[in-house]
A = this chain, B = another copy of it.
């Protein structure tokens, strides 16, 4: 991204003493941009406001951020807008400044849509060695500290593997490095709870709502990694990809834990893809 607005001013640098860099003292949102428009902006704003509350950062005016997101999104056919909110600059030390001036950063990056096969045939995912720590300081929220996801993503280079799943220290699966995980079993939907760690994804929220509207039971709960082998269907979601079914899950050594051939239709996953497409997540059905 080179096209940034920092507190409304075009630029591409930030003061070194910003607490976003010094202490990861802030939050971010990644927003899908399609044909120049941001998608699910209200939901992202709701989470951002919530996250600012959890970190006790005064949330910048969301009307202003909305204008800025729309401004940077203009003309972007397919991409990702990013909002970063930090507690702003401050003196040395963890104590938040008594008179903070939060920094808001808004940017855009063009992106390449994922291949059709990710949606139609499903992806290969692997289990990661890197653990998700708990309890997270603002569980469910997108705080800036993402070293765990970075190290988990660095565990593999094989471009065939599109996502890695991460567990907590107790062996419960928390989600993907960049996505939320769903498991279908006996026509019910299960997704790891985010009460102690993990991200409460926007697409996860949308998928859960759509499942409920379709009369499908939906459970947010602790899910042991061992349960994955017994899933009828597995899929991952995030704001940029929409929904990717899994066709294979492998362990750290590459041994297959779970595999399915994705049928063209008739699955819960397929039904949810159709519903997402109706809400504008058209990449799901191509």
Contact = CB atoms under 8 A, between A and B. Distances in A.
A178 B94 contact: yes
Assembly of this chain: how many copies?
2
A75 to B, nearest CB: 18
A216 interface: no
A14 B13 contact: yes
Given A130-B137, A145-B145, 19 more contacts: A1-B16, A12-B17, A13-B13, A14-B14, A22-B144, A24-B24, A55-B147, A55-B150, A55-B151, A56-B151, A87-B150, A93-B153, A94-B177, A94-B178, A95-B150, A95-B154, A133-B133, A133-B197, A137-B147
B13 A146 contact: no
A237 interface: no
Given A13-B14, A133-B136, A146 B111 contact: no
A280 B6 CA distance: 44
Contacts of A14: 13-16, 21
Nearest to A25: B150
A21 B147 contact: no
B145 A144 contact: yes
Interface in A9-30: 11-25, 28
B105 A92 contact: no
> In this complex, which of A12, A14, A22, A152 has the most chain B Cβ atoms within 10 angstroms of its Cβ?
A22
Interface string A245-273: 00000000000000000000000000000
Interface in A109-138: 109, 111, 130-131, 133-138
> In this complex, which of A55, A135, A138 has the most chain B Cβ atoms within 10 angstroms of its Cβ?
A135
A174 interface: no
Contacts of A195: none
Contacts of A107: 16
B15 A94 contact: no
Interface in A196-210: 196-197
Nearest to A54: B151
A95 B159 CA distance: 11
Contacts of A91: 109
Interface in A145-165: 145-154
A84 interface: yes
> In this complex, which of A18, A146, A148, A150 has the most chain B Cβ atoms within 10 angstroms of its Cβ?
A150
A227 B12 CA distance: 50
